[in-house]
Amino acid sequence: MKTLEKPVPPGGTIGIIGGGQLGRMLSLAAARLGLKSCIYNDTPDAPAFQVTQNAVAALYDDLNMLAGFADACDAVTFEFENLPAHAIAHLAERVPVRPGAHALAMTQDRLTEKTFVEKLGLKTAPFFDVTSAEQAREAFGKLNGKGILKTRRFGYDGKGQAKVASADDTARAFESFKGAPSILEGFVDFSYEVSVVAARGADGAFAAYDPPHNEHENHILRRSTVPSQLTPAQVSEAKAMAKKIADALDYVGVLAVEMFVGKDGGLLVNEIAPRVHNSGHWTIEACQCSQFEQHIRAVAGWPLGDPVRHADAVMENIIGAEADAWEALARGGALHLYGKKESRPGRKMGHVTRLRGKA
Ligand code: AMP
């Protein structure tokens, strides 16, 4: 078993599980620091494979391939949080895994995650465990007329979610999820959404970016804008909440805490993403150290970089066929295209960041 008492030196290899756009941007950031990346993805056409010499295409529960991958790396991290727990344990027996198995387990499941957040004394939407249609009806009765049923695991970009407005609705939604364990959340009538993208180093150091205002369309992030309308006091509170979460998880790496800003100005935790996050892409152009470099630094045991923001910025996702207008988009700002062959509706094809003067 390799250990990481010392930082991974330049020339070392960071393993990245998942070869989508996040893996791709992590790999590019590693390269800038003189580190190599080895990327593991379950299909051979991964966007991140285009930017690394070390690509492994194998299933996420292929323990032999995972072992070989672990042996080729000095530390391993993730671009997505849904690797099966036994596969993470298998990796962790061979190589330092950052963030660790505990942090991933806590955040893979919405019920475990929300219970953990509540125990820390942070606010969330009211939530109830739902494992049967009967429980679904009962839970709805405890809400004030509106809720969202969410599968506990494997949901993203609105998948595995249904808005409900009656006990019957809730039972039907539960059945449409084919009985997958779920939680029913009270619908929060928030003013807007923000996120704190932050990093915790192997030495416990903490660094948070300015929280962006996030706008969604069809459950997919459309736009992140910095600065948000949060007051300085709310910004401090939001960052302190993220620090509390990161410390309690003994977290190493970048994480994102998505929050609702209530009509009364209070902050509610919606979700924790144990990885770099779409709402932090603007940090590439607008900050001294991007979220991708920051994550690689933390995983490699390097000192964290400075998250200071030197410009106001708006990041917009390029979704589906919008990527066909790449020439026009290239004129308007910092264009990132992820190298995906096909533009399916709802698929994130790239993003563009426009800087709006000095911060
Ligand atoms: P999630 O997958 O939990 O991040 O939810 C995706 C989006 O659905 C959030 O960014 C919100 O816009 C909306 N949403 C999720 N949960 C709630 C809630 N309890 N009340 C109101 N809107 C929600």
CATH of the domain at 316: 3.30.470.20
What pLDDT was estimated at residue 3? 67
Q: Where are the strands (E) in the chain, listed by range?
A: 13-17, 36-41, 54-57, 75-78, 127-130, 147-151, 161-164, 182-186, 192-200, 206-208, 213-217, 220-226, 253-261, 267-273, 311-319, 334-337, 348-358
For residues 66 and 165, state if they share a domain. no
Say how many Å lie between the CA of residue 121 and the centre of ligand 1. 20
What pLDDT was estimated at residue 47? 97
Binned average pLDDT, 10 residues per bin, the chain of 359 residues: 82 98 98 98 97 96 96 96 87 95 93 98 97 96 95 79 95 93 96 98 97 95 98 98 98 98 97 97 98 98 97 98 95 95 94 90
For residues 49 and 134, state if they share a domain. no
Which atom belonging to ligand 1 lies closest to the Cα atom of 187?
Answer: 20
Say how many Å lie between the CA of residue 153 and the centre of ligand 1. 15
Distance of CA 211 to the CA centre of its chain: 14
337: Cβ–Cβ under 8 A, 6 or more apart, which residues?
318, 323, 326, 349, 350
CATH of residue 163 = 3.30.1490.20
What pLDDT was estimated at residue 157? 64
Please identify which residue in the block is written with the tokens 């609105």. Answer: 158
> Is 4 contained in some domain?
no
For residues 241 and 345, state if they share a domain. yes
Say how many Å lie between the CA of residue 294 and the centre of ligand 1. 27
Q: Which of 148, 170, 278 to mutate to test the pocket of ligand 1 (most atoms within 8 A of CB)?
A: 148
What pLDDT was estimated at residue 36? 98
> Is 339 contained in some domain?
yes
Query: By the 8 A CB rule, do 320 and 346 touch?
Result: yes
CATH of residue 57 = 3.40.50.20
What distances in angstroms separate CA 303 from CA 100, 253, 293, one per listed residue?
Answer: 18, 11, 11
> Is 47 contained in some domain?
yes
For residues 210 and 344, state if they share a domain. yes
End-of-domain residue from the set 56, 77, 97? 97
Query: By the 8 A CB rule, do 245 and 103 touch?
Result: no
**Ligand 1 pocket check for 159: Cβ under 6 Å:** no
Range of the domain at 165: 126-186
For residues 341 and 215, state if they share a domain. yes
For residues 92 and 131, state if they share a domain. no
**Ligand 1 pocket check for 193: Cβ under 6 Å:** yes
For residues 45 and 182, state if they share a domain. no
For residues 281 and 306, state if they share a domain. yes
For residues 227 and 288, state if they share a domain. yes
Which atom belonging to ligand 1 lies closest to the Cα atom of 161?
Answer: 2
Say how many Å lie between the CA of residue 157 and the centre of ligand 1. 10
The tokens describing 314, both together, are 């708006």
**Ligand 1 pocket check for 192: Cβ under 6 Å:** no
What pLDDT was estimated at residue 81? 81
Q: Which of 260, 268, 275 to mutate to test the pocket of ligand 1 (most atoms within 8 A of CB)?
A: 260
Total domains present in the chain: 3
For residues 156 and 281, state if they share a domain. no
For residues 286 and 313, state if they share a domain. yes
**Ligand 1 pocket check for 310: Cβ under 6 Å:** no
> Is 230 contained in some domain?
yes
